[in-house]
Amino acid sequence: MPEFLTLLPPDQAREKLLSHLPPPTPDSETLAVVSALGRVSAEDVIAPHPLPEFPRTTVDGYAVRARDTFGATDSLPAYLTLIGEVPMGDSPSFEIEAGQCALIHTGGMLPKGADAVVMLEYTQSAQTHEMEIFKSVADGENVIGIGEDVAKDRVVIPKGTILRPAEIGGLMALGITSLRVARLVKVGLISTGDEVVEPSQRPRPGQVRDINSYTLGALVEKSGGVAVRYGIIGDQFPALKEAAAKALSECDVVIITAGSSASTRDMTAEVIRGLGEPGVLAHGINTRPGKPTILGVCDGKAVIGLPGNPVSALVNGYLFVAPVIEKLLGALPKPKATVQAKLTVNLPSQAGREDWWAVKLIVNRQSSIVNYLAEPIFGKSNLIFTLAAGDGLLKIPPDATGLSAGETVEVMLI
């Protein structure tokens, strides 16, 4: 297979794959906000009104005119007349005038005339309807003004935002209970191999259960897609070609696992070439695990061939499948979740090749600067529990011959 003789660096291969995909024009659907966690907004969301809509206190205390408290101390308190209590969930019927104050609770509406709130612990009752103030406050202290969180007509959630719990809460605060989101990307999954059987079956000697379509399906759903499984295809070219063509016609992305090693039994690259133009873009990635990965685009849709080894398939799923889904969703670029950790042992690597290691993160009780220790999990690329035992993936760049114990490294959380 001539493509396998030229190994592309992972970053270059990913960029080549993404550049051959058309600009994202995701279909959208209207969804209730309560069901939109993890989805991608398909339009700018604009605030229909300011937030908050009225000035409110952030503490329990007394609403005052700030200038009436200037100079107040423990030894020389200010004395203010208590004229009432602000009702929760309603607007106060009174106005604060010179030398006056009113009891107010967190979230309560500031009365007219008041411009600050003195915290409860800096006050005490002097006598009936009179309060001692032991601390001066500045104009606006302990108060949220109208529109201080969000101004009316401001774009609060840009198109392409992945909705997190904070965005869900913000939408509810504005009374927005539904919005348009990008439809989930449909990803077709095909497992190949005469030796592969369904997980529900008891394998005979020489057979293995299908792992990849389920680990990759979970990754697809985590990344914003919906997995469509097309079953297990034996090592017959016509059957694989038919299944791949069907998946390509029905889905946005197609993933074929196994059949991507450089051997006479490899059919994946040939199948991809026959599905559409331009076909195979790269056959072979300069990384471990997952060197025999195939990247292709057929008539505007990504078709990816991943190794049969479960760890290799899943690691390269993170590197190539997830970015494709994010692009098709029109998601705005966001940094991956990473932590700094101190490596516990020496890790060798071959110069010129990018290595990825599963690592276990352990709390580093000996340092207040680096909070974790990264303990590599050693295992071959067909041992799925070597990856299941890990908290993240550690990259050894191609220009390094390894990493040293005690070195601070960046771990991508998985």
Can you give the CATH number for the domain in which 42 is found?
3.90.105.10
Task: Specify the CATH number for the domain of residue 407.
Answer: 2.40.340.10
The residue whose two tokens read 């990849």 is 212
H helices of 251-295, in order, are 268-275
CB 359 within 8 A of CB 315: no
| pLDDT the model gives residue 382 | 66
Domain of 122: which CATH number? 2.170.190.11
Would the pLDDT of 279 be above 80? yes
Report the 10 Å Cβ neighbour count for 311: 26
The whole-angstrom separation of Cα 215 and Cα 317 is 9
Is residue 232 within 8 A of residue 308, CB to CB? The reply is: no
DSSP letter at 61 equals E
Written as six digits, the tokens of 194 are 């005469």
Tell me: do 204 and 278 sit in the same domain: yes
Judgement on whether residues 152 and 265 belong to the same structural domain of the protein: no
Say yes or no: 188 and 176 in one domain.
no
Q: Specify the pLDDT at position 1.
A: 43
- 8-state DSSP, 51: B
Under the banding of pLDDT at 50, 70 and 90, the label for residue 400 is confident
Tokens of 25: 């024009």
Question: What are the helix (H) ranges across 251-394?
Answer: 268-275, 310-316, 322-329, 384-388
252 & 305 share domain: yes
Whole-structure pTM value? 0.85
Mean pLDDT, range 197-214, rounded to an integer: 90
Question: Torsion angle of alpha carbons 372, 376, 381, 386, nearest 10°?
Answer: -70
pLDDT at 281: 94
Q: Is the peptide bond before 323 cis (omega within 30 degrees of 0)?
A: no
Q: Are 191 and 303 found together in one domain?
A: yes
Band (193; pLDDT cuts 50, 70, 90): confident
Closest CA to 359 of 343, 346, 371, 348: 343
Cα(280)–Cα(17) distance, integer angstroms: 10
Indicate if 177 and 33 belong to the same structural domain. Answer: yes
Is 284's pLDDT higher than 60?
yes
pLDDT at 261 over 80: no
Q: Is the pLDDT of residue 191 over 70?
A: yes
70-76: long-range contacts, CB 8 A cutoff, minimum separation 24: 70/136, 71/136, 72/133, 72/134, 72/135, 72/136, 73/134, 73/135, 73/136, 74/134
Using 50, 70 and 90 to split pLDDT, how confident is the model at 414? confident
Which of these three, 329, 349, 377, is where a domain ends?
Answer: 329
Q: Which two tokens stand for residue 254?
A: 């197609």
Query: Which residues span the domain enclosing 240?
Result: 2-27+184-329
More confident residue, 119 or 400: 119
End-to-end, the C-alpha distance of the chain in Å comes to 33
Q: Look at residue 366 and tell me whether its pLDDT is greater than 80.
A: no
Q: Where are the alpha helices (DSSP H) in 55-119?
A: none
If one counts the domains in the chain, the total is: 4
Give residue-wise pLDDT tens across range 128-139: 899 999 999 999
Prior bond of 289 cis (ω within 30°): yes
Residue-wise pLDDT for 224-250, tens only, equals 999 999 999 988 889 999 999 999 999
Instruction: Give the confidence band of 126 by pLDDT, cuts at 50, 70, 90.
Output: confident
How far is CA 393 from each of CA 40, 120, 178, rounded to the nearest angstrom? 26, 50, 37
Q: Supply the pLDDT for residue 259.
A: 55
Given a contact cutoff of 8 angstroms between Cβ atoms, the answer to whether 208 and 184 are in contact is: no
- 41 & 97 share domain: no
d(CA 77, CA 71): 8
Based on the domain organization, do 192 and 297 belong to the same domain? yes
Q: Which of 329, 350, 377 is the last residue of a domain?
A: 329
Phi, psi of 401 (to 5 degrees): -100, 15
One domain, residues 325 and 263: yes
The span from the CA of 342 to the CA of 228, in Å, is 40
Distance in angstroms (rounded) separating the CA atoms of residues 390 and 209: 22
Mean local confidence (pLDDT), 197-204: 90
Q: Are residues 159 and 193 in the same domain?
A: no
| pLDDT for 263 beyond 60 | no
pLDDT at residue 16 greater than cutoff 50: yes
Q: Are residues 174 and 250 in the same domain?
A: no
Residue at 390: amino acid letter: G
Q: How far apart are CA 239 and CA 234, in angstroms?
A: 8
Instruction: Read off the pLDDT band of 264 (50, 70, 90).
Output: very low
Task: Provide the mean pLDDT of the chain.
Answer: 91
Residues 113 and 255 occupy one common structural domain: no
